[in-house]
Chain A
Amino acid sequence: MPNSPSEPARHPSGAPSGAPEAASGEARRVVVRRKGPMLVEGPVEVELEDGSVVSSDRFQVALCTCRRSRRYPWCDTSHRDRA
């Protein structure tokens, strides 16, 4: 599913729309590993350093933690070892 760079709609509370876990007060679990992306249940909005917001409505989103991705903030497997 494509990501839309458009400014997303927000609830008055500031919580992203369509995020039932957040709305119900239940903690959202993210998965981190020493190597590779951070996995977050979608849909997800990511605010970048310049203030722009990108979003993905995939069921899981892989956020790049190695900073090497050419599609940052999304992981594109650039974290892999090279041989």
Chain B
Amino acid sequence: MLPAPRGPLSRAVTTYLRGAGPLPSEAEVAAAPVYGEDLQLALYLCYELHYRGFADVAPALEWDPDLLRTRAAMERRFLAALREDAPRHDSVDGALAGILVEPVDGTGVSHFLRDKGELWQLREYAALRSLYHLKEADPHAWVLPRLRGRAKAAMAAVEFDEYGGGRADRVHARLWADLMTDLGLDTTYGRYVDAACAELLVTVNLMSLFGLHRTLRGALVGHFATVEITSSPGSRRLAEAMRRTGAGPAAEHFYDEHVEADAVHEQVVRKDVIGGLLEDEPELAPDVAFGVAATVFTEDRLGDRLLADWGGGRSALRAPLSQAATHVS
């Protein structure tokens, strides 16, 4: 089902998707705050048609020219803002240098959750991240036809691992659903979109933006490398958080698996996906660096938001979670 609108853009887009009214005007798109709840939700709705759609929306609207025109207007603003706000680096190595060093006294969300995260905060974190992890690896699969040779083979191999190596019970999105079950969350696809703040929507919209545009294949590769490089140490901290709070075996397993898997994925992505792409198309180096910087920028914004809410004793969700029964060991 379509989520509830958060302003004029998302209201007009949901109405249009139901076949009941016009799309937002260009002036409305131009007026909305670019990282705000309204524009980011409207963009999220447009992108979702390319994944699994909505039960109450005609599937053919995926390629509706008027909707694509509105989406493009929002994407132009989003991309321009990211290019403006993401720190600029002279080289891919320069962009990666910052995330290849482990801070001794890290202050990110995974450090917070490891050290003092409570079960309710882990549940909120999982509800938010479910917008990506229930379609884990899907935005990145779109890049495959745009790569060649070494980069394509390596990217496909990592994606194969993300998709469980041919086994449905090992698909990472499946492992994620099992984690949600341990945490007493609803695993229905799209269930927590209404609960997700704009900062979270931005992180998922970034993947869809980079994945859907061939012109942004370099940025998608830079984004993917960033996810893989930062995942392994972060997953260790989150696995510790799950263990300490007694979240359950599947909750621990998701992150334990990513400690090890992403230590491998990182190596393969850096050596063969980035290496292969830049051997083929060296002119894409600035885009790869941009993809890295934009991902770090959007993840930092999300982290700041979560830590501000939790540090202030507040929920980070737009709608509170029901007190569902959690895992009993």
Contact B268 A83 (CB under 8 A): no
Binary interface profile of B, 91-117, with partner A (CB < 8 Å = 1, else 0)?
000000000111110000000000000
Known interface pairs A1-B165, A58-B165, A59-B160. Does A75 touch B263 (Cβ–Cβ under 8 Å)? Answer: yes
Residues in B lying within 8 Å of A, measured CB to CB: 100-104, 157, 160-161, 164-165, 170, 232-233, 236, 253, 257, 259-261, 263-264, 266-268, 271
A70 vs B256: C-alpha distance when bound (angstroms): 11
Chain A residue with Cβ nearest B164: A1
Instruction: Give the distance to chain B from A39, nearest Cβ to Cβ, in Å.
Output: 6
Q: Are A60 and B157 in contact (CB under 8 A)?
A: yes
Which A residue's beta carbon lies closest to that of B170? A1
Nearest A-chain residue to B103, judged by Cβ = A83
Query: Which of A3, A31, A37 is within 8 Å of B263, CB to CB?
Result: A37
B165 touches which of A59, A62, A71, A76 (Cβ 8 Å): A59
Give every chain B residue within 8 A of A36 (Cβ-Cβ).
267
With both beta carbons as reference points, the residue of chain B lying nearest to A39 in the complex is identified as: B267
Q: How far is the CB of A79 from chain B (nearest CB, A)?
A: 9
Give me 14 A-to-B residue pairs in the complex whose CB atoms sit less than 8 angstroms apart, sorted by A's number: A1-B161, A1-B165, A1-B170, A2-B253, A37-B267, A60-B268, A76-B232, A77-B266, A80-B102, A81-B102, A82-B102, A82-B103, A83-B101, A83-B103
Considering only CB atoms, which chain B residue lies closest to A31 in the complex? B271
B102, B259, B260, B261: residue with the most chain A Cβ atoms closer than 10 Å? B260
Collect the chain A residues with CB atoms within 8 Å of residue B253's CB: 2
Contact of B104 among A31, A75, A83 (CB under 8 A): A83
Q: How far is the CA of A55 from the CA of B260 in the complex (A)?
A: 13
B263–A76 CB distance below 8 A: yes
**Docked complex Cα distance between A1 and B267 (Å):** 17
The CA-CA distance from A56 to B315 in the complex, in Å, is: 40
CB distance from B293 to the nearest CB of A (A): 18
Q: How far is the CA of A61 from the CA of B263 in the complex (A)?
A: 9
B267 touches A58 (CB 8 A): no
Query: Do residues B165 and A77 form an inter-chain contact, with CB atoms below 8 A?
Result: no
- Bound state CA distance, A81 and B160, in angstroms? 30
What's the nearest-Cβ distance from chain B to residue A33, in Å? 9
Minimum CB distance partner of B165 in chain A: A1
Of the candidates B161, B170, B257, B259, the one whose C-beta lies within 8 Å of that of A59 is: B161
Distance of A82 Cα from B103 Cα, bound (Å):
6
- Which residues of the other chain, A, contact B266 by a CB distance below 8 angstroms? 77
Residues of chain B within 8 A of A75, CB atoms compared: 260, 263-264, 267
Query: Which of chain B's residues has its CB closest to A70's CB?
Result: B236
**Are the C-beta atoms of A59 and B157 separated by less than 8 Å?**
yes
What is the CB-to-nearest-CB distance from B291 to chain A, in angstroms, rounded to a whole number? 20
- For residue B312, give the distance in angstroms from its CB to the closest CB of chain A: 29
A74 to B264, CA, bound (A): 9
Within 8 A of B (CB), among A34-83: 36-37, 39, 57-62, 70-71, 74-77, 80-83
Could you say which of B104, B157, B161, B232 contacts A77, with CB atoms under 8 Å apart?
B232
Are B161 and A58 in contact, CB atoms less than 8 angstroms apart?
yes
Whether B267 contacts A60 by the Cβ 8 Å rule is yes
Given contacts A1-B170, A57-B165, contact A77 B103 (CB under 8 A): no
Q: Kindly list chain A residues whose C-beta atoms are within 8 Å of the C-beta of B104.
A: 82-83
Q: A1-B257, A2-B253, A81-B100 are in contact. List 5 more A-B contacts (CB 8 A).
A: A37-B263, A62-B267, A80-B233, A82-B104, A83-B103
Given A1-B161, A1-B165, the answer on whether A77 and B264 have CB atoms closer than 8 Å is no
Please report the C-alpha to C-alpha distance between residue A31 and residue B161 in the assembled complex, in whole angstroms: 19
